[in-house]
Structure 1
């Protein structure tokens, strides 16, 4: 279970983990299983954990006053699920995070992660790389949402995240892209031609 996380850290750092560091990671991350639709975080709660997904698929979303879900992030194996703003600022989360499929995750508190970062240089390097990639991805997504057509958004999504198309239904992908399910259906039919 923890070996997948250890492999992930090693693949995102130039500093290989030592045996002692691997033991610290195993001790620091706790295993949790989520049933389909079980919450990892509920809107209004303060986020206490970051979760590394070992198996399964999850989503982060808000629900508006009309009861419509708006997908903010999609997560599958080797992704990290959390609400960083809530965790860092200790404020109620604006988001729900739940398991779309049955999921197995390794969780850690912010305090425990900071403690491990003080002891494991490879973890710091991995987090810096993840932060850089996350900032780039968020900037691209924002730019795409503001200026791209539905066709272009779906094309970019299918290029950068083909694995999500297999794991999530159309209505979730449409919400993530900021378009209606009907628009997504039309765009997908056009892209097949």
Structure 2
């Protein structure tokens, strides 16, 4: 695997906290690199989430099945993004979600124990993850609010603005599920564009 990919993580951490070279080395040594084929489940309901993943190449999604067996996508993440079930990860309680790769992917992963040690070795990482988790919380609230107050078309436009190549890389049925609409509604919205 290309070692320059590891430095994507450092690049994104340095956007929020400035790292020294020795801190960068400790961070990279704390993460485990993993190549994952397409459609591999990194987590299943009932399992305890053991890792937070930083996607350096590829993509992943998290989803669950409701009581009727219908699938609902909670997260779609592509390169340079984090994905996990943070509730399970931090509480060490069984997950309700599947975590699955969308394409062949390369991820960096870190367990709770290693992350705790990293906080001690590189205190700036505690600040970085606090910022990251705050942003994730705000994004979750914004997404929840958008389902109440925005039209499907507005939610679609916002998603495209955030990640323009998602349409070429993620199946329409997944995008529709993520937006909380039927695939037919997504087709109608796309035809308007």
TM-score, normalization: structure 1? Answer: 0.92
Residue 21 (structure 1) aligns with: 23
Residue 13 (structure 2) aligns with: 9
Q: Secondary structure at the match of 1:162?
A: coil
Q: Give the counterpart of 2:106 among 100, 104, 107.
A: 104
Alignment of 1:94-173 (within 5 A): 94-173=96-175
The answer to whether the 8 A contact 1:60-1:97 is kept is yes
1:124-169 deviations in Å (ceiling 9; x for gaps): 2221221222122111111111122212221222223323223212
- CA shift, 1:77, in A, is 0.9
Where structure 2 has 5 or more consecutive residues not aligned to the other structure, the ranges are none
Moved more, 61-70 or 93-102: 61-70
- CA shift, 1:66, in A, is 3.6
Where structure 1 has 5 or more consecutive residues not aligned to the other structure, the ranges are none
Residue 90 (structure 2) aligns with: 88
Moved more, 34-43 or 19-28: 19-28
Compared with structure 1, are the counterparts of its residues 163 and 134 closer, same or farther at alpha carbon in structure 2 (3 Å cutoff)?
A: farther
Q: How many residues align?
A: 189
CA distance in 1, matches of 2:162, 2:80: 15
Residue 41 (structure 1) aligns with: 43
Moved more, 155-164 or 34-43: 155-164
- 4+ residue stretches of structure 1 with deviation over 6 A? none
Please report the RMSD computed on the Cα atoms of aligned residues, expressed in angstroms.
1.4
Q: Secondary structure at the match of 1:97?
A: strand
CA distance in 1, matches of 2:135, 2:165: 18
Q: Secondary structure at the match of 1:113?
A: helix
